[in-house]
Amino acid sequence: MKISEIFYSIQGEGRLAGVPSLFIRTAGCPVNCPWCDTDYAKSFDAGEEMSVAQILRRADARDGSNVVITGGEPLIQEDLADLCYGLRAISPHITLETSGILPAGDLAVDLMSISPKLSNAQNDEEKNFEHFYPEIISGLIEEYSSQIKFVVSDLQDVLEAGRAVKEISAVGRADLMLMPMASTFEEYQLKAPEVAQYCLGFGYTFCPRLQLVLFGGGKGA
Ligand code: SF4
């Protein structure tokens, strides 16, 4: 598997925000969000090759911890099912973070954390390229306990998220969250109050980015 980093930190986002967790960050992502907060992990040249056994040996040092498998896009990794199966023996809770562009198959995962890509995920080179696949996201929600985090910057994004929600047939079974678009503490401070107001107005749950508040973001945070 291509691994960017393995580290122990506080889960900053979603329904488990605040829980100490072991993070396994895979490298490589076919989406190319201009606001990606893990730029160093999205290239297919990033990270180092590690076997499942090597990763599990590292994870074993945090036996009993929650695990978060994130990226990059973890679902492109061939040995993901074996990794989840191995982690099951040492972790009470496994979260998988995905952009929802690929089906997951049968994984030993407790929470599917889906961050669907709105048009704000398109970069200048691929203006009309779609990264939003409602049928795939519905399939994930039907198979796994799920949360959906929309990364939003303004009202237009929130309205687009609302239209996207209507296309995800199984959406009623997932937690729906809005997360401020920010990759630094300063950006988060500016954007979070505005997004909180959108949550109040539209009934979404506010998704924090505690890693920016506590550690300023970046590698190992
Ligand atoms: S999907 Fe996630 S990892 Fe991939 S480019 Fe976008 S924010 Fe970065």
Structure confidence by residue, pLDDT tens digits, 37-73? 899 999 999 999 999 999 999 999 999 999 999 999 9
**For a substitution probing ligand 1, which of 5, 33, 70 has the most ligand atoms within 8 Å of its CB?**
33
Give the per-residue pLDDT at 126: 64
pLDDT tier, 123 (very low <50, low <70, confident <90, very high otherwise): confident
**Least confident span in 20-34, 92-106, 119-133, 183-197:** 119-133
pLDDT tier, 217 (very low <50, low <70, confident <90, very high otherwise): confident
pLDDT tier, 207 (very low <50, low <70, confident <90, very high otherwise): very high
Question: In which domain, by residue range, is 96 found?
Answer: 2-215
221 falls within a domain: no
167 falls within a domain: yes
* 218 pLDDT above the threshold of 90: no
* pLDDT (average), residues 140-147: 98
CATH code of the domain covering residue 87? 3.20.20.70
158 falls within a domain: yes
Give the per-residue pLDDT at 1: 97
pLDDT tier, 127 (very low <50, low <70, confident <90, very high otherwise): low
Give the per-residue pLDDT at 129: 63
Give the per-residue pLDDT at 221: 80
Give the per-residue pLDDT at 128: 56
220 falls within a domain: no
* 125 pLDDT above the threshold of 80: no
39 falls within a domain: yes
* pLDDT (average), residues 13-25: 98
Take atom 3 of ligand 1 and give the residue whose Cα is closest.
72
136 falls within a domain: yes
31 falls within a domain: yes
| pLDDT digit string, tens, across residues 73-98 | 999 999 999 999 999 999 999 999 99
Atom of ligand 1 lying closest to residue 30 CA: 4
| pLDDT digit string, tens, across residues 156-199 | 999 999 999 999 999 999 999 999 999 999 999 999 999 999 99
Cβ of 101 below 6 Å from ligand 1: no
Q: CB neighbours of 140 closer than 8 A, spacing ≥ 6? A: 98, 100, 103, 104, 112, 114, 146
Give the per-residue pLDDT at 24: 98
pLDDT tier, 220 (very low <50, low <70, confident <90, very high otherwise): confident
Cβ of 42 below 6 Å from ligand 1: yes
The rounded Å distance from CA 170 to ligand 1 centre is 23
The number of folded domains in the chain is 1
86 falls within a domain: yes
